[in-house]
Amino acid sequence: MKPAGVILAGGRSARMGGGDKFLLDLDGQPILDHVINRLTPQVSELVINANGDAARLMRFDLPVIADSIDGFAGPLAGVLAGMDWAFDNGFDQIVTVAADTPFFPEHLVTALQLAIVSEAMPLAMATTPDLERPFNRHPTFGLWDVSLRNDLRQSLNDGLRKVVQWTKPHGCANVSFEGFAFDPFFNVNTPDDLETARKYLAQHP
C-alpha cells in the first residue's frame, strides 16, 4: 500500500520576505503545483500541512491540516499533523516533502520504502552525497511510521525541534539519491533561487 503524502508548507519564508513562497509562479504555475504533480503518483492520498487561513489553498482541492503544536515548532510539527491525519484515515505510513522543492525524485517514495524494509527501521530520510561530510541530509523528505506519533507529540511538547535529534534514537535509514544533473532537493528560499529554478526549467521543460 502506498503511504499518504504530506506536503510541508508551514514555513515562514523569511528569506523570501515572508508570505507563501510556494505560491510563487514557476513556469506558469505555482511552485506548489509542481510539488503536487510530482508527488501524486507516488502516494495514495495527499494533504497539505499549512497554518493560517486555509481558504488561500482551496484552489488545490486538497485537505489542509494545521500544526497542533502552539508556536512555530518547525517541520516536526508538520510531520505530527500528517501522522495524526494519517492515523484517522487508516494509513500506517506517511511520506513528507517540502512545498518549495519542485524537482525531488520521481522514485522518492519507492526508494524510502525499500530502505525501511531492507534495514528494518521505522523511518527513512533522503540524503545526497557531500564532499565534506558522509552525506547531506534532507530532513523534510522522509518516510515516517505513524505508530510513533504520540512519541513525537511528547517530544515536541518537551521542546525538541531538530528532526535528526528525534529520528536517530528510533532508527532512521539514510537513503542516498545521486547521479542527477541538477540537485533534486534544490529548494526555493530566495528570489535568486526562484530565478535559478526558472532557468533550469527553461533548459529542461
- Per-chain mean pLDDT for the chain: 93
**125-164 burial string, b = 16+ CB within 10 Å, else e?**
bbbbeeeeeebebbbbbbbbbbebbeebbebbeeeeeebe
Q: What is the pLDDT of residues 76-106, one digit of tens each?
A: 999 999 999 999 999 999 999 999 999 999 9
**What pLDDT, on the 0 to 100 scale, is given for residue 72?**
82
Q: What is the mean pLDDT of residues 110-114?
A: 98
**What pLDDT, on the 0 to 100 scale, is given for residue 15?**
44
**Cα angle, residue 71 at apex, residues 186 and 174 outer, rounded to 5°:** 35
Domain extents for the chain?
4-203
Confidence of residue 1 (pLDDT cuts 50, 70, 90): confident
> If you search the block for the grid coordinates 545521486, which residue do you land on?
178
Q: CB–CB of 142/70 below 8 Å?
A: no
Q: What is the pLDDT of residues 66-80, one digit of tens each?
A: 999 988 889 999 999
**Could you tell me which of 4, 75, 9 has the C-alpha nearest to residue 40?**
4
Answer yes or no: is pLDDT of 28 > 80: yes
pTM above 0.85, yes or no: yes
The values of phi and psi at residue 199, to 5°, are -65, -40
Alpha-carbon dihedral sign for residues 119, 121, 127, 129: negative
Domain 4-203: assigned CATH number: 3.90.550.10
**What pLDDT, on the 0 to 100 scale, is given for residue 11?**
64
Per DSSP, helices labelled H in the chain are 31-39, 75-88, 108-118, 149-157, 163-170, 191-203
Q: CB–CB of 6/96 below 8 Å?
A: yes
**What pLDDT, on the 0 to 100 scale, is given for residue 41?**
98
Answer yes or no: is pLDDT of 13 > 50: no
Q: What is the pLDDT of residues 151-203, one digit of tens each?
A: 999 999 999 999 999 999 999 999 999 999 889 999 999 999 999 999 999 98
Grid cell digits, residue 51: 497554518
% of the chain beyond a pLDDT of 90:
85
Confidence of residue 131 (pLDDT cuts 50, 70, 90): low
